[in-house]
Structure 1
Amino acid sequence: MKMFKKYTTVLTTIIGSSLVLTACGGGTAPTNTGTTATPAAATAAAAKTDGPKLNFRLAETHPADYPTTIGDKKFAELVNQASGGRIKIDVFPSSQLGEEKAVIEQVQLGAIEFTRVSTGALGGFNKQYEVFSLPYIFDNDEHQWRFLESEQGTKLLDSLESSRMKGLAYYSSGARHFYTKKPVKSIADLKGLKIRVIQNKVNIDLMNALGANATPMPYGDVFNALQTGIIDAAENNYPSYFSSNHFQQAKNLILDQHQRVPEVLLISKVAWDKLSADDKALIKKAALDSVKTQKEEWAKFEKDSEAKVRAAGVTITEVSDLKPWQEAVKPVIDKYRNDYKETLEAIEKAKK
């Protein structure tokens, strides 16, 4: 109870200082046509630019030049432009405000307003997001985006409100692969390895199905854990493998594409509920508009990361036949099929 009172006091102070909000009038977004604005358009523009000045923080795990961080910054820029400088969002990269799990908890309290997190991490806060940890449910990036942009994908974003967050947009994160300290050429070589995973039960079951030992830990601890031998391997996408310098400690990469775990840009429900209707629409539009930039940056960074780890002498093993991998993890899919029936059906439909 004392701890709860402490958090309540801190929360009240933070919200009081950073979210001094007043009601804004309604209206539609102004359109720049190059002609004289009508009275209605002028009123709408005033609602966007003459409301309360707001300063927010956005927590990001990755470095300043990482594609998700660039997406965050584009989002902040678009919000600032659309509000005429009235709404400012400062992006804090490189886990300056904490690792993902701790940040999500602060977002729920309203102590941090925005963050970009992996859906793998969100699974610990909203069960429906664990579906993205299921292996081989997407054939490729195109298949994944058809689902994310579908009605069911939007429904998943909206479901975060029950977890005291508001999903704004998805970001790209490519396919995840295993990287190891010792050479790995097949599933059999993973047996008995201690592999770092994002902390959720689906990932743990996935490692068990592959004969490995799941070792959940924060992303920021992985480099030292590889260096000291606490873990034998980890798994992630090309850009994370490179930007984290994990390739320096685990010089073997096998391209098994076991997961495609998208990212989510989100806002605290505490902050969201205090916004005017116009500001909500402005922020949501900016988030969706920032996706194009993030996806373009992702594609470039992914190619660049692959080239650099190859140049660094990493041994890269292609997987020509995924069927043995898919068969090995089928029990994991079957175990959770009923839990995510609606979502899995929508993902299957998105193949067409």
Structure 2
Amino acid sequence: MTTMKRLGICALLAALVLSFPAASFAREFVMGHTGQPLVTFAQAGEKFAELLDKHSGGKMKVQVMGAAALGNNREGIEQIQQGVTDFWLISTGLLAPFTKAVTVYDIPYLFKSEKAALDFVNSDLAMEVVKPLEEKGIKPLGYFIMGWRHTHSNIAIRTPEDLKGVKIRTEPAPIRMAIFKAMGANPIPMDFGEVFTSLQQGVIDAGENTFENIKSQGFHTVQKYITTDGHILDPMLIVMSKKSWDKLSDEEKAVLQKAVDETCKWEQDNVLANNKKIMEEFKAAPSPEVIELTAEQRQGFREASKSVLKDHEKDIDMAIYEKIMKFQEAYPEEAPNS
């Protein structure tokens, strides 16, 4: 982050603090994220502010700054570490530079079903996975999810072979790029804000995202197909500055955690329902065509991406991976339906 940009953000945060209504004893916090108002996790930020205000009796208040008003995710995490911003909402994939433990979530087809994934992210084990972030000044509080990531394209994709040579935008995480390399595609890491124009101009042929993000960003207007491969069920975290957390009393921490837990439940319920609703909307429309893979077709994608785990064992905490596999042993395999 440049010095001028840092100064600008600090000035904005100072103005935010001054804008809070005068209230005795109130603790005042700032939350940042990059989501647009239409996506569920952005709405969950507002829900958190509402619940924290309610459970604290007005003694803990949060100003939510979305749509990258406080900077991009990298800048936001820098602010969290410095204690400049108190909370941030972020995909686990973007926290890999701080702990390799979270790279386990990038493994393709990690979760056997939506139910298995939800039960896991709400478990104590899932919080153990992200605990090492505390050593970097980042306090993880709970999990949101963005939903299943599907492939959107101008080419009908029903088999891994259909991806050969396709220029596809991915997040700049090595394992996520490796998923599509394994299928013969040409993965191109690109800033999220550049994707629509790049699709529109043919710079790239495809991308991969949740139904909610596909709609909110208008990708469906410049793509002909969406293939429901569900290669990743994308988890997110609500994190807090460790510096801010350590200033709280035990009672305040308990109140804050209660608000977080209720917010996570609200977000998970609503994001899955909204993704499913959008999927049905697209299926009923003339375009884009939603290609729902059969169990056999989906297995083909699993097989084609098996090499990713083997090739990236050094980047993954394999002990955590084995624990996740054991956790969901009793769950049946189910195709994504949202």
TM-score range, shorter chain: 0.7 to 0.9
Residues 117-136 of structure 1: per-residue CA shift (max 9 Å, x gap): 11122223322111111101
Residues 81-122 of structure 1: per-residue CA shift (max 9 Å, x gap): 122212211222322223323322222222222111111222
Are the aligned partners of 1:209 and 1:328 in contact in 2 as well (CA < 8 Å)?
yes
Are the aligned partners of 2:158 and 2:227 in contact in 1 as well (CA < 8 Å)?
yes
Residues 28-57 of structure 1: per-residue CA shift (max 9 Å, x gap): xxxxxxxxxxxxxxxxxxxxxx98422222
Alignment partner of 1:315 out of 260, 272, 289: 289
| Structure 2 Cα separation of the partners of residues 101 and 253 of structure 1 | 29
| Structure 1 Cα separation of the partners of residues 287 and 305 of structure 2 | 30
Instruction: Tell me which moved more, 302-311 or 133-142.
Output: 302-311
**C-alpha displacement at 1:163, in angstroms?**
2.4
Match of 1:350 in 2: 327
**C-alpha displacement at 1:10, in angstroms?**
8.7
Matched, 1:182 2:161: no
**TM norm structure 2:** 0.86
Instruction: Tell me which moved more, 303-312 or 239-248.
Output: 303-312
2:234 match: secondary structure:
coil
**C-alpha displacement at 1:264, in angstroms?**
0.8
| Structure 2 Cα separation of the partners of residues 116 and 296 of structure 1 | 17
Match of 1:139 in 2: 112
Alignment partner of 1:286 out of 259, 264, 279: 259
2:34 match: secondary structure:
coil
Are the aligned partners of 2:139 and 2:241 in contact in 1 as well (CA < 8 Å)?
yes
**C-alpha displacement at 1:189, in angstroms?**
1.5
Are the aligned partners of 1:122 and 1:129 in contact in 2 as well (CA < 8 Å)?
yes
> Which blocks of at least 5 consecutive residues in structure 2 are unaligned?
331-338
**C-alpha displacement at 1:222, in angstroms?**
1.3
Match of 1:91 in 2: 64
Alignment partner of 2:304 out of 328, 337, 342: 328
Matched, 1:65 2:38: yes
Residue 75 to residue 19, structure 1, CA distance change in 2 (3 Å): same
| Structure 1 Cα separation of the partners of residues 159 and 247 of structure 2 | 52
Alignment partner of 2:90 out of 94, 114, 117: 117
1:172 match: secondary structure:
strand
Are the aligned partners of 2:179 and 2:305 in contact in 1 as well (CA < 8 Å)?
yes
**Aligned-residue CA RMSD in angstroms?**
2.7
Residues 315-345 of structure 1: per-residue CA shift (max 9 Å, x gap): 1112112222111111111233463212111
Matched to 1:305, the amino acid is I
Q: Percent identity?
A: 29
**TM norm structure 1:** 0.83
- For 1:182-201, what aligned pairs fall within 5 Å after superposition? 182-201=155-174
Instruction: Tell me which moved more, 308-317 or 160-169.
Output: 308-317
**C-alpha displacement at 1:18, in angstroms?**
7.9
Are the aligned partners of 1:191 and 1:211 in contact in 2 as well (CA < 8 Å)?
yes
Are the aligned partners of 1:124 and 1:200 in contact in 2 as well (CA < 8 Å)?
no
Are the aligned partners of 1:116 and 1:263 in contact in 2 as well (CA < 8 Å)?
yes
**C-alpha displacement at 1:349, in angstroms?**
1.4
**C-alpha displacement at 1:17, in angstroms?**
8.7
Matched to 1:279, the amino acid is E
| Structure 2 Cα separation of the partners of residues 229 and 278 of structure 1 | 55
